Amino acid sequence: MIRTILCACLVCLPAIASAGEEAVGAICVLEGPDVQPMKDGLRRIQRPFSVVGKLEAGGLGECRVLVLCGADPPVDENGKKAIEAFLEGGGAVLAVGGGATAMVRQKLFDATTYYFTGTTIHMTVFHGYHRLTFGYPGAKPVEDWKAGVPNLLRATQGPLMGLGPKAISILGYDGAGLYSAAAFQRVGKGLVLMIGPDPQGGNAYYSLDKPTLEPGDKLQTDLLLANAIAFLLDPRASLIPNGGFEANMDLPPEQCNWQVALREGARREWRREGAPEGSGFLRIECPQAQSSGMVEPTCPIVVERGVAHRFTCRYRASIPWTVEFVRFKGSPPAPKRESAPPVSVAASPEWRLFTTDLTVPADVSYPKPVAAMRGQGELCLDDVGLRPIP
Amino acid sequence: MTNRCQFVVLLIGMCASALTAQGGEPDVHPKALLCDALKRARDLPKGSGYGDWRGTLLLLRIGETMRLHGLRDDAAGALAACREANASSQFPDEVKNEIAAELCRDLTLLGDTAQARRIAKDLKSRSYSGAAWLLIARSLQEAGKADEAEGVIREFLAAMPPEARKDRDNNLWTHGLAELALRMKRPELARSLADSIQSEPWKTGALADIATDLARAGRTDEALKIAGGFSDSFMAASGWARLAAVFAATSSAAPTATALDGLNLAAAKIKTDPERDFALRLAARRLAAAGAGKEAARLAGTVKDPCAAALAQCDLFAVETFDATADAVARCPEGDRDLLWEAMAVMAGRKGMAEQAAKASDRIASAWAGLRARRAVAGELADAGNIGAARQALDAATGLAGKLDAPGWRCCAHIGLAMGYGRIGAKEATDEQLDKAKNEIAQVQEVEAREALLTRLARAMAALDRKPSAKALLTETLQASPRPSLRDALVVLLAEAGETEAALAEQARARLTATLFRRMFMYRVAQSGNPRRALDCMAGLAPIDQAEALADVARARLRSPSPAPWEEKAVGVTLHGGWRAWFPRLERMGVRWELMPFLEPYEAEAEGLRSKYIALGFPGTGDHFAHLSTVGIEHVREYIYSGGGFMGICAGQYLATKGEYVTCDAHGFRGRGPHQVQMRKHHLVSLGLPPVIIISRMNGGMLLPGPGCEVLGWYDKVDRYAALVAEQYGRGRVVAFSPHPEGSSDLVPGDLLCINALNWAMTGLP
């Protein structure tokens, strides 16, 4: 207890750490009404955090991720300035539920808000793959996930967000795509990730995971929190889910994250032996000259506009093949798909690393790498990644 | 089974030959069309869940259409194919069970009761097995085979395992069968069924049916003895009220007093005030209808809640009670008073009291509600033959139309008034209102609203037999290159209005874009006696839609079967989706309910549906479009437009919005959980309800109402997305709920909302 309080005072004055919280950490939770579910969630995913009692300029110390959550976190004018300074300095903000409301209210995020009266459980759709969505929908979706990601998000009374041009949507609701459920935005050197419905809040809805919540329980929505924290602590990791073809490859494309189009007798195979990385790789075999195969992530990838990204993969190919970065312009849920000139890759009988850089155009938020081969031969792919270049 | 399959294959081969026998020209004989549809349905690729579902439903419809065309052997083949497809399909068990229950009915109608009984017996789900037995027995009863129906019911009873007697749905169907047994004049059978019911409310309901039947037959002592076994307080109060009404109608003073004592005792045991008030109001209404005005007034006087008390006064409304009723209204919350004046006006109109109706209408502050009330009053007076007074009510309403702020709402007002004037044969006034409506449309800025109003106006013109005006409006709009969605709707309307040549010319100029509209168009063209030309429009449709279109065209060549009208019309709840919560509520409301086979709106046209059903219920869960098909959607539309009631919840709401029975779009938005619905007091359905009702949503769409669509409750505080809407559609009434208020069995606000909505859909009053 003494150590906890001392460390909290050292790291983020005037932060106040409660008993039980780990005092020093990259993650700080702003105290306020109804933040306990978030604290419980962070404990379940084993992320140490400290608690900030009040936001003041320079008061966030070594904090790297500030969590604004609960019903109504106290973000006043001074708090706004503290957050602005924190973001300018390269910090990251995770704002969920009432935290998202506060960010929009203080004009710290480019969005408008809409609220249903009452609490409801939102089902979301991917506007594209993002670190936040990794692991969803999982091998056993609760229902037909194509109509949404059921139970992915629970709501307190958080906002539905109508995004402005600076923000990029990760998750939406089906229908006309008017609202975003989760979105991010670069602010200075920092990053803001907003999740309107509060995945850890809405304590009336634990029944979706279990009838009653007991210590040590893992909630479906904990993955979302874990993903959010991991993304904000290290935004440079690969944005492509299941890039090593390790999981769920015997399931439909929606669940394994990859779709493969085959023509004229071409076959796909998920091999578990001989992978250069991990325990599996994807092999496409075209038996004749007219055969062709095309591999692409099931959804486009959510990226930061105008930022350089590096595409990498390991490959083995008996004939040349191509990579094309298809671009999606406009707003979800039906952005316009545009082709781009493909990059040709030479054949290689041995496993090789392929790397190419691309700068995402300023009007594109959702590119998608498409690997294609045509003619008799084979193409093996593994460890596919797309990362922002520092 | 194998032989039957071989027979079907052979039949298909023969039909295919028949199709090519005329040098490529399609054979439009129903048999050829249906055999072609059957072949295509069987050839559809298997494996995609939704496609399988639609394909299986299509086989069922083809079989039914064959039966209606008298092609019994072909029908048997199609139904066998349907059964096979249903057994091997991957779609949800509920849907498979629904189809199986429906198959039981169709096989019974085809004369194959033995197979129908086997299917019913094999159904693992008791909920659907009971439904299947009920459909078999009812089909037999309607076909005049009461003895066979009795055999089926006894088989159901014998096959019921002891543990099934506790099953909620089993009790429901057993009650339904008991009611059927009474209609078949088999009181002993009804008694056996009632005795097997374990649930107290259902058992009491069944016993009340039997006791009432005995009382009507003059067997007073037996009736009273059975009534002594009533156990559920609410249903007991309802049952005693029914008995009291029968005794009062036959001037049996002593039994009436006994029944009233029973009613009072039962009412005293009802646990909550809202339930007691509701039971007493129902009882008062029954007694008043039986001529026991004094007893009715005494009961109405014991209703505690001011709104319920005022409504009870309205039910008993008479010239001399106007002031007393007005006093009762004055005691109600201010927000409810306009609605109560409206209810009072409509009730006065229904009772032919034109002066009192006008007085009550004059008390309504809101222009729209005042106009709506006067229109309703005019309708009631016209129905009663008082054309002069109806005209006066309409003339008074006309003055209010100009007071409405928005041109869209003024347009709706004029369309409604035109319908009113048309009903009383006031030609000039009708035309004047139609012209005004058209002029208002030009003032509407929002494209979607303008389009919706144009279709409303064109439909009204066609319904009012202003076909040249309708054609001129449609042609003029089509010439202005409307958006594809509007164009599709208008071309279908052109065909529906009998302007087949003009419609075909439009379709030839540019094909309709939406499959639903194209199939509606083909159906209308075929109905006008041009099946071959309807088939010319089939190119480009997906294989399953082509097969469906062939069946539709064959259906269009049928004259609608004319079932014998039911003595007491029922609320028909379709056998698709979550019907469970509907029947207990209807039972408590004292309303006759029936399980409506989901094929019935496909088979029967508006007139056939209206001869049986006072309102139709479409529950949540599922896809009513697939189950009704284009033809069913159109028949339901005609049913409502000609005066029927409609209530749709969740998936049923989608039927209302996408089928355009209400001027409202639905914005798909998945999610579930309780919403605090912000209620508004603009409509009779909202009468007596609190300002906020917590209602759970199960992925129901957000509603975006247009002019004429009245919002009962919003999902938010900024009036962006509506949760509950209601609208007059032609002469009928539509209620569409996005969330599910029907889950509770207590008289909580959500329950009262449902009761108000069902009552309004049925009768125009809450």
**pLDDT score of A175:** 60
End-to-end CA distance of chain B: 52
Chain B residues contacting A via beta carbons under 8 Å: 667-678, 692, 694, 697, 699, 701-702, 714-718, 720-721
Of A117, A119, A123, the CB nearest to B670: A123
pLDDT over threshold 90, residue B49: no
CB contact under 8 A, A175 and B701: yes
- What are the tens digits of pLDDT across the range A96-135? 999 999 999 999 999 999 999 987 778 788 888 999 988 8
- Helices (H) then strands (E): counts for chain A: 6, 22
Tokens of residue A371, six digits: 């690997």
pLDDT in tens, B591-608: 999 999 999 999 999 999
Q: Is A116 on the interface with B (CB under 8 A)?
A: yes
Query: Is residue A63 predicted with pLDDT exceeding 90?
Result: yes
Provide the percentage of residues in chain A whose pLDDT is more than 90: 57
For chain B, say whether A157 makes contact (Cβ under 8 Å): no
Helix, strand or coil, per DSSP, at residue A366: strand
Mutant choice from B91, B672, B693, B694 vs A, greatest count of A C-beta within 10 A: B672
The contacts of residue A288 (CB under 8 Å, 6+ apart) are: A264, A265, A376
Looking at residue B737, its pLDDT comes to: 97
Q: To the nearest whole angstrom, how far is the Cα of B8 from the nearest Cα of chain A?
A: 35
Residue-wise pLDDT for A168-221, tens only, equals: 999 988 666 789 999 999 998 999 999 998 877 654 444 455 556 666 666 777
Q: Which of A250-264, B97-111, B379-393, B537-551 has the lowest mean pLDDT?
A: A250-264
Residue B89 has pLDDT above 90, yes or no: no
Residue A140 has what pLDDT? 55
3-state secondary structure (DSSP) of residue B447: helix
Neighbours of B481 (CB within 10 A): 10
Q: Given A116, A174, A205, which is nearest B715 (Cβ)?
A: A116
A-B contacts (CB, under 8 Å): 61
Q: Average pLDDT of B658-680?
A: 90
Whether the CB-CB separation of A233 and A42 falls below 8 Å is answered with no
Task: Please choose, from the candidates B589, B716, B556, B576, the residue with its C-alpha nearest in 3D space to the C-alpha of residue B652.
Answer: B576
pLDDT of A16 higher than 60: no
Cβ of B668 and A205 within 8 Å? no
Judged by a CB distance cut-off of 8 A, whether residue A121 touches chain B is yes
User: Is residue B305 predicted with pLDDT exceeding 50?
Assistant: yes
Distance of CA B547 to CAs B33, B284, B517, B551, Å? 9, 54, 16, 6
Mean pLDDT over B327-344 rounds to: 95
Which residues of A fall within a CB distance of 8 Å from B693?
A: none
Q: Give the separation between CA B278 and CA B267, rounded to whole angstroms.
A: 10
- Pick the more confident residue, B552 or A174: B552
ipTM, 2 decimals? 0.83
What the block records as the tokens of B524 is 């209308």
Closest residue of A to B695, CA-based? A118
CB contact under 8 A, B716 and A115: yes
End-to-end CA distance of chain A: 39
**Total-model pTM:** 0.90
B276 has a pLDDT exceeding 50: yes
Say if the Cβ atoms of A117 and B692 lie within 8 Å.
Answer: yes
What is the spatial distance between Cα B583 and Cα B593, in angstroms, rounded to a whole number? Answer: 7
Q: Are B352 and B390 spatial neighbours (Cβ–Cβ below 8 Å)?
A: no
Residue given tokens 């067997």 in the structure block: B219
For residue B421 the two structure tokens come to: 């004037």
Instruction: Judge: B670–A148 Cβ closer than 8 Å, yes or no.
Output: yes
Contact A63, A26 (CB under 8 A): yes
C-alpha of B465 from chain center: 25
Instruction: Give the lowest-confidence range in A185-199, A214-228, A370-384, B515-529.
Output: A214-228
Between helices B253-269 and B220-227, what is the axis angle to 10°? Answer: 10
In sequence order, the 6+-apart residues with CB closer than 8 A to the CB of B219 are: none
B155-170 mean pLDDT: 85
Query: Helix (H, G, I), strand (E, B), or coil: what is residue B432?
Result: helix
Question: Amino acid identity of B183?
Answer: R
Tell me phi and psi for residue A3, to 5 degrees.
-60, -40
Could you say which DSSP state residue B744 is in? -
Q: Answer whether B716 sits within 8 Å of A174, measured CB to CB.
A: no
CA distance B369 to B452: 22
A120 → closest Cβ in B675, B714, B718: B675
